[in-house]
Amino acid sequence: MTYIYGNTGTNGVTGTAGVNSTSGSVNGTAGGNASAGTSGQSLTFLMDQDDWDPTLILVGGGGGYGANGGYGGAGYYTTTNNYNGGGYLVSRSTAVSDGGNGGVAGKGGNGGHATLTASNLVALDAQHLETQGGSGNYGYTGGGGGSTYAGYYVNNPYANGYYVGPNLYYYGYTETQAGGYGGHGGAGSAGGTGGNATTTADAITFMAYYTTVRAYGGAGVGGGSGGYGGNGAHGGDGAVGGAGGNGGKATVNVTNSFGNFYGSITLTAQGGAGSYGGTGGNGGTGQTDSYNYTAPGTYTLTTTYDHGSGGVGGKGGNGGSAVINYTGNTLVGDNTGETFYLYNTISSGLRGVGGVGGYHGGTTTRASSGANGVTGATDLTISGNTFDGGAGNDTFYFYILHTSADQSSYGSLGAIVVDLNAGTFVFGGNSNALLNVENVTINVLERYYNVSSVLVDATPGVSLTGSNTNNILSTATGNDSLWGLAGNDSLDGGIGADAMNGGAGDDTFAVDNAGDIASETTSGSDSGGYDLVNASVTYTLADYIEALTLGGSVNMDGTGNASDNVINGNSYINVLNGLDGKDRIFGGYGNDTLNGGDGNDYLDGGNDVDRLVGGLGDDTFIINQLGDLAVEAAGQGKDTVITSITYSLVGQVIENLTLGGYGNIDGTGNGVGNLIIGNYYNNVLNGGAGADTLIGGNGNDTYVVDVAGDILSEAPSQGTDTVESSITWTLNTNLENLTLTGAANINGTGNAGNNVLTGNSGTNALAGGLGNDSYYIQNAADTISEATGAGTDIIYSSVSYTLFGAVETLALTGAANLDATGNSLVNTLIGNDGNNILNGKGGADTYTGGLGADTFLFQTSSGADRITDFSAAQNDLININAYSGGVVNGGGVTITDAGGGNTLITMGANNITVLGVAYNDAGLLSHIIW
């Protein structure tokens, strides 16, 4: 990096002070004028290949300081006393000389210019070329005018014995002082002008990615204040303030250059700021007092004024202009996708403000202010260039930041029109070739400061037209027009009310302004494609656009059209309207309201608590939060709720319910014929009134049946399922359990599987069918039907019960004192926790009493039976009275050792084996009923 600095100018020399007068007849002399500061050194550099430098910055020298003018010399007085014949003073007269004028201040030096030209060379690395005009320097203050004495007059014919002045006057007395003129102030000097900066790159081949060309005009500097007027009988005038320095001009030229790849080119031109004008000098005060005595000790005072005028404020300096000229250049890409950046930053120099006027002598009123300067102009020319992307997916990025220092000088740099189909890029009426480029981003920001110093956006609209390939077209600000043509295009107008048309293809629009218009001329079936609007404001889709997605971080709404729409909400509260068509609407986070409108719609509120309104058509509602509400009116189609939580259709005009998600949840129907489908887990499916179809899933499901027309469906190997029925019911295939509910006398029938049939409190007829079935009964009048060879079955009874038919096992439940009676088959009788009487009747039966004092009853022809848990401690009894006739060992009954610690009681052809009890156990022998 190389900096070259110009030398600073020399400073001005202060004017000499005027000589004060020592006599009333000789005026004070004028102050001397100051000399001006000299200009800073200007630099001019021509860079060719031999002295090529990747970074070269030229800085013009700063101007020298101005200097103050000399002060004017003060006036003086000479007094003459007059006496009468008696030697008494009777009058006095004073002559007063004038003050000298102040000297003129020396002007501030101008900044030096900087001119850099790079020409006919190859830039082997990133190139940075920059010039900076030197700053001017300050103007200084004019010398103040010399002051002198005010006027004074006394007429006192009654002066005897009165002390009037420095003497005691005894006779009539007069005194006169003719006041002098105060000197005028010297003019303030002008501030120095900023130097111009010019950077030119001509016929250069750029070999690296980055190129930066900049020019900064030097700043003008403030003018000096005018000198003040001197005081006296006649005040001197204040002097005019010095003018503010003008800002330097900035010029950037890049012409006839070449780059064989895309890169980043940054062009910057900043005009120098003009500076403020100096303040006008204050006028001096002029005054004469006259005392006229009308009686001893009594007088009238008359004062006359002759003040000096305040000086006018100095004019503000003009802002420097800024010029960028990018013409005749060629940039060519290779066979890969590249991005070419052309950055332009151009700003005019701010005008200087005129200085305020000085105060008129003896008042609070100012002289007029100096005129404001004029803000510099701006001029950006981009013309005759060729940007050729070559093969690959290429992007052209064009950036302008244009700032005008005030509204009065603002003018737009020009309209931008890009047409990729025609291969043109027009800026400000000047045409450029834009070839083999697929994507364009235009970021233009034009602005100015208004009278309140508020920055105002004044960006003009941009027109972008794509080609028949896939394009990305975007702008940053302004009311722009974007047209995609064929291809799958992405259109983003940025800030402003933009008009966007995607053309054919699947297009995506970015909408951030309620005034944005995203349009398609034809629908998907007419080759308009499937199109999406991403909106950060409330928006309604135009015709032929299919999808809308809301973004941003505030509450907003979205509305579709007559097409089949997909509408997505954001993470805040949305109202999403589908209108006509088969719409799919997704709420996301937030408490949303989804309106499907006409058509078969799919409504998913997402997280939080949502309101889903279907409208006409066969609609589908996704429910996943407690508080979600699906709304349908009668006659609006056959609708479905899909839920990941337990859900009830009661009170809703909805026909179908599907359980989804993860976990065990339940589904309940309403008064119409519902279709209810379970999920992968354990569900309770209850159709309610109406002839319902209930379809379980992989879990252990429960079906609630209350209408004979209910249909239950379960696939093989999908868990162990239960039907809870308040009517007579027969299990169909793949259902395992049946529970009768209520108190009505109803019946239950199993299937070919292993069933569990549970009766209610009424009288039930239960038939298990094939398989090893289990029965739970709570009414002694219940009947069980089992065919011979239809499996091994068990009855669980909460009442005393007697086996009949082909049921083998009876188990008492609860803790009540109940009885269990077998049949002629080989039975297993199991007691509960109460005191039970177990009677196996015929067959080789097994008795298990459980807790409580149980009685094992054996009647004639009881067969070969076993007792598994006899306990004398529980006061169990073995009743063989039917054999012994009440006589110990009567009827041929014998008690012997069965081996293994067991006892064998033989009763003729029948016997009892008591397991785990020795034959000679006293507790056993004492608990036999003979």
Interval 819-836: pLDDT, tens: 999 999 999 999 999 999
Angstrom distances, CA of residue 178 to CA of 113, 175, 290, 620: 56, 10, 11, 109
SS3 493: coil
* DSSP code at position 194: P
Does residue 226 register a pLDDT over 60? yes
Res 556 pLDDT > 90: yes
Question: What is the C-alpha to C-alpha distance for residues 191 and 65, in angstroms, rounded to an integer?
Answer: 9
**Which residue from 240, 477, 479 is spatially nearest to 356, judged by alpha carbons?**
240
Residue 441's contacts (CB-CB under 8 Å, 6 or more residues apart) are 395, 396, 397, 398, 472, 473, 474, 475, 476
Q: What is the C-alpha to C-alpha distance for residues 707 and 826, in angstroms, rounded to an integer?
A: 39
The per-residue pLDDT for 82 is: 80
Q: What is the mean pLDDT of the chain?
A: 91
Residue 164 in this model has a pLDDT that exceeds 50:
no
Separation between Cα atoms, residue 125 and residue 129, nearest integer Å: 12
**% pLDDT > 70, the chain:** 95
CA distance 839 to 859: 8
**Is 137:37 a contact under the CB 8 Å cutoff?**
yes
* Structure tokens, 564: 């089949």
Stretch 550-564: mean pLDDT: 96
Per-residue confidence (pLDDT) for residue 261, from 0 to 100: 62
What local confidence, expressed as pLDDT, does residue 175 receive?
76
The sheet with strand 298-305 has its strands ordered as 77-83, 89-96, 173-178, 151-156, 287-295, 298-305
For residues 640 and 622, the answer to whether their CB atoms sit within 8 Å is no
Calculate the alpha carbon distances from 387 to 394, 422, 605 in Å.
11, 13, 49
pLDDT confidence bin for 901, thresholds 50/70/90: very high
Alpha-carbon distance of 100 to 98, in angstroms, equals: 7
pLDDT at 262 over 70: no
Structure confidence by residue, pLDDT tens digits, 745-800? 999 999 999 999 999 999 999 999 999 999 999 999 999 998 888 888 999 999 99
pLDDT tier at 622, thresholds 50, 70, 90: very high
- Tens-digit pLDDT profile for residues 13-61: 999 999 999 988 899 899 999 999 999 999 999 999 988 999 999 999 9
CA 729 from centre of chain: 60
Which residues make beta-bridge pairs with 511?
A: 535
User: Which band of pLDDT confidence, cut at 50, 70 and 90, is reported for residue 526?
Assistant: very low
pLDDT digits (tens, 9 = 90+) for 824-870: 999 999 999 999 999 999 999 999 999 999 999 999 999 999 999 99
Please give the backbone phi and psi of residue 253, each rounded to the nearest 5 degrees, phi first.
-125, 125
d(CA 239, CA 472): 64
Tell me the average pLDDT across 536-559: 96
Mean per-residue pLDDT, 372-400: 90
Q: What is the mean pLDDT of residues 185-192?
A: 92
DSSP H helical ranges for 224-270:
none
Does pTM top 0.85 for this prediction? no
The answer to whether the CB of 800 falls within 8 A of the CB of 781 is no
pLDDT score for 403:
76
46: which 2 tokens?
A: 């021509």
Cα 30 from chain centroid (whole Å): 70
List the domain boundaries for the chain.
2-36+54-66+83-392, 800-930
**Distance of alpha carbon 401 from the chain centroid:** 24
Q: Which one-letter DSSP state was computed for residue 923?
A: H
Per-residue pLDDT at 115: 98
The CA angle 711-713-717, to the nearest 5 degrees, is: 160
**Residue 651 and residue 628: Cα distance in Å, rounded?**
14
pLDDT number for residue 777: 96
State how far the alpha carbon of 670 is from the alpha carbons of 633, 648, 739, in Å: 14, 8, 22
Q: How many CA atoms lie within 13 A of 164 on its CB side?
A: 31
pLDDT score of 167: 46
Q: Is the pLDDT of residue 89 over 80?
A: no
Does 601 score more than 80 pLDDT? yes
In three-state secondary structure terms, 526 is helix
pLDDT of residue 1: 83
Please tell me the distance from the alpha carbon of residue 431 to that of residue 385, in angstroms, as a whole number: 8
Tokens of 691: 């002839």
First to last CA, the chain: 126
Residue 157 CB-density burial (10 A; 0-12 exposed, 13-18 middle, 19+ buried) = middle
| Contacts with 903 (C-beta within 8 Å, 6 or more apart), sequence order | 895, 896, 897, 913, 914, 917, 918, 919, 921, 924
Residue 87 pLDDT greater than 80, yes or no: no
CB 771 within 8 Å of CB 778? no
CA 206 from centre of chain:
40
Closest CA to 225 of 144, 147, 318: 144
CA distance 419 to 399: 17
Do residues 226 and 172 lie in contact, with contact meaning Cβ atoms separated by under 8 Å?
no
* Segments of 696-821 assigned E as strands: 702-705, 711-713, 722-725, 729-730, 737-740, 748-749, 756-758, 765-767, 774-777, 783-785, 794-797, 801-802, 809-812, 819-821
What does the pLDDT read at residue 152?
85
pLDDT tops 50 at residue 163: no
Q: Which two tokens stand for residue 839?
A: 């009677």
Report residue 624 as tokens: 């996943």
Look at 280-289, 519-528, 866-875 and tell me which has the smallest mean pLDDT.
Answer: 519-528
CB contact at 8 A, 578 and 567: yes
CA–CA separation, 578 vs 596, rounded Å? 5
Instruction: Compute the average pLDDT of residues 119-126.
Output: 91
Give the contacts of 585 (CB within 8 A, at least 6 positions apart): 560, 565, 566, 567, 568, 576, 578, 594, 596, 601, 602, 603, 604
Calpha distance 275→242 (Å, rounded):
11
Q: Quick one: what percent of the chain has pLDDT higher than 90?
A: 74
CB 493, CB 461: distance < 8 Å: no
Predicted pLDDT of residue 878: 98
Residue 515 DSSP code: T
Write out pLDDT tens, residues 274-289.
999 999 999 999 999 8
Tell me, what DSSP letter sits at residue 924?
A: H
**Which pLDDT belongs to residue 455?**
66
pLDDT at 161 over 70: no
Least confident residue range of 519-533, 539-553, 727-741, 858-872: 519-533
Find the helix or strand (DSSP H, E) in which 881 lies: helix 881-884
What confidence score (pLDDT) does residue 806 get? 87
> How far is Cα 428 from Cα 412, in angstroms, rounded to an integer?
9
Phi/psi class of residue 690: alpha, beta or left (left: φ > 0; alpha: ψ in -120 to 50)? left
pLDDT category at 170 given cuts 50, 70, 90 is: very low
Q: How confident is the model over 418-424, as a mean pLDDT?
A: 91
Query: What pLDDT does residue 451 have?
Result: 67
Predicted pLDDT of residue 405: 62
Contact call for residues 662 and 644 (beta carbons, < 8 A): yes
